[in-house]
Amino acid sequence: MSEQEFPTPTPYDALQAAILELFHETVSRYPPPHAPGAEPSSPPPHRIGEYLVYQGYLSPRELHSALQESQGISGGKPVPLGFILVTRYNLPATVIAMALLLQTLDQLAHTPRLPPRFLGEQLLREAALTPQQLALVLEQQVVDYTHGQWQRIGDLIANHGWLDADALNAFVREMRAA
């Protein structure tokens, strides 16, 4: 009897497994308050709010209101959507970080030739950072903003000692050259 051969996992497969494991941990820790929404009608990758509605973390009405507020439509100053979701809708920053990781995973799966737009995406693509590390600094960034501080993701990564400023600058140069 011959053993069945399994294909060697690709770097994408390993990244996908790690992100999906984090997703399941996040859903277990922070169950969605709403029934899952309709699957987004547009092809992936989706916008962050679409992931949150689809997973049941926001209702469509909540997303609409949060988007208006984040864009400053009601006369306020524009602020990051994640900040609005944490402060006004009590969405855990961990859930926002997870939705961003799912979005990155979809971008890699459906538009692999497009260069990354954000440093975190580049670091995941290059396996310079794990999904767990990126989730931690994304969460920290949102929480810090709710306390009136804004730190760049690269500064947070360097503060943890995962990569130094020279390595981060090299990744940024690589992104800009693409």
pLDDT tens, position by position, 104-123: 999 999 988 888 889 999 99
User: Rounded mean pLDDT of the chain?
Assistant: 91
pLDDT of residue 32: 97
Nearest in space to 79 (alpha carbons), one of 70, 88, 91, 69: 70
pTM above 0.75, yes or no: yes
In this predicted structure, the answer to whether residue 99 has a pLDDT above a threshold of 90 is yes
Q: Reply yes or no on whether the pLDDT at 2 is more than 60.
A: no
Closest CA to 99 of 177, 22, 3, 169: 22
Q: Give percent of the chain with pLDDT exceeding 70.
A: 98
Whole-number Å distance between alpha carbons of 178 and 176: 5
DSSP state for residue 41 in the 8-state scheme: S
Biggest alpha carbon distance in the chain?
A: 72
Checking if the pLDDT of 75 tops 80, the result is no
